[in-house]
A and B are shown apart, each in its own frame.
Chain A
Amino acid sequence: MKKIIATLFLIISAFYIMPVFAGSEEVNIYSARKGYLIKPLLNAFEKNTNIKVNIISGKAKALQKRIEQEGRNTRADILLTVDAGNLYKAKYSNLLMKIKSNKLEKLVPEYLRDKDGYWYGLSIRSRVIMYNPKKVTKKDLSTYENLSNSKWKGRICIRSSSNIYNQSLLASLISHLGKQKSQDWALGVVNNFSRKPKGNDRTQMTSVVLGQCDITLANTYYLGKWISSEKKKERKYAKKISVFFPNQEDRGAHINISGAAVVKYSKNYKNAIKLLEFLASDDAQELYAKSNHEYPIRDNINVSDIVQSWGYPFKKDKLNLEELGKNNNLAVQIFDKVNWQ
Chain B
Amino acid sequence: MVKILKLNINGISFNIDGNRILDNLNFEVAEKDIVSIIGPSASGKSSLLRLIAGFDTIDSGKIKINNIIVDDGQTFIKPQNRNIGIIFQDLALFPHLNCEDNIAFGISKWSKNKKHMRLIRLMDLLNISEISKKFPHEISGGQQQRVAIARALAPKPEMLLLDEPFSALDEELKEQLMLDVKELLKEENITSIIITHNIKEAFQLSDKIAYLSEKKILQYDIPYNMYHKPTTKEIANFCGIGSFLKGTVVDANHIFTSLGVLFGNTAPYAKDEIVDIMIRPDDIIHDDNSATSAKVVEKTFHGSDFLYKLELKDSQNIFCYTPSHHNHSISEVIGIKPQIDHLILFKE
The answer to whether A and B touch directly, with their CB atoms under 8 angstroms apart, is no
A interface residues (Cβ-Cβ under 8 A, vs B): none
B interface residues (Cβ-Cβ under 8 A, vs A): none
